Amino acid sequence: MTRFEDIKAFAFDVDGVFTDGLVLATPDGDLLRQFNSKDCYAVRTAVNNGFPCAIITGGVSQSLLHRSRSLGVEDRHLYMLSKDKEVDFLHFCRSVGLEPAQVAFVGDDIPDIPAMEAAGLGVCPADAVAEVRSAASLVSLYPGGRGCIRDLVERVLKAQGCWKFDPKDPWKGSHPDSVTKYAKMTGKNLENV
């Protein structure tokens, strides 16, 4: 099994991993998801410590694009409507110059198994389907949307001495112009947004 010290990048499914698997369909066809802020903090911390991150999902929505950007995931590493997650996972690995053995993949359902098996560390939440739990090299103690991502990322970054945040050097966020403009109009200490 790959050690936490060997992991240099992360790839995540969305529904059932970042979320508890429930989606709300709006009348205009968008799908709304609820993300755990602690999981999102972990991804942002990984990105800011030089760990490339990808989101590989069969889903698609404008809100996913906005959320991935707010986490620091580069647009080129957001794979929506993924029909073969292993192919997209391997593409991500090549694009960041890493071997699959250096990358962790987190999934919760049957379409995630090939990417999990190709990864150096295949991880799933505690409430993943039975086939995924059997295929995983690590089953988190936490369910999807409730700390699974935070659990993995924190373990990896702590093992490498990278779990840190300097409040005097805050993250540089990547937000849509309208959000940044609104933040500057309403907030304090946002000169560097």
Q: Is pTM beyond 0.75 here?
A: yes
Residue of 171 and 58 predicted with greater confidence: 58
CA distance 58 to 35: 17
Q: Which residues have CB under 8 Å from 27's CB, separation 6+?
A: none
The torsion angles phi and psi of 186, rounded to 5 degrees, stand at -110, -25
- Burial profile 37-73: b = 16 or more Cβ within 10 angstroms, e = fewer: eebbbbbbbbbbbebbbbbbbbbebeebbebbbbbbb
Let me know if residue 179 belongs to a domain.
no
- Which one of 14-23, 164-173, 181-190 scores highest in mean pLDDT? 14-23
Let me know if residue 30 belongs to a domain.
yes
Let me know if residue 181 belongs to a domain.
no
Let me know if residue 174 belongs to a domain.
no
Model confidence pLDDT, tens digit, residues 28-44: 877 778 888 999 999 99
Amino acid at 151: D
Rounded alpha-carbon distances, angstroms, from residue 164 to 43, 46, 51, 159, 193: 12, 10, 13, 12, 20
Let me know if residue 73 belongs to a domain.
yes
Q: For residue 147, what is the DSSP state?
A: T
Let me know if residue 78 belongs to a domain.
yes
The domain tally of the chain equals: 1
Question: Please, is 128 exposed, middle or buried when counting C-beta atoms within 10 Å of its C-beta (0-12, 13-18, 19+)?
Answer: buried
Let me know if residue 153 belongs to a domain.
yes
Consecutive H or E run containing 108: none
- Least Cα distance to 53 among 37, 38, 70, 36 occurs for 70
Domain of 101, CATH number, reads 3.40.50.1000
Model confidence pLDDT, tens digit, residues 66-88: 889 989 999 999 999 999 999 99
Model confidence pLDDT, tens digit, residues 14-29: 999 998 888 788 888 7
Question: Residue 15 belongs to what domain range?
Answer: 4-166
Model confidence pLDDT, tens digit, residues 98-113: 999 999 999 999 999 9
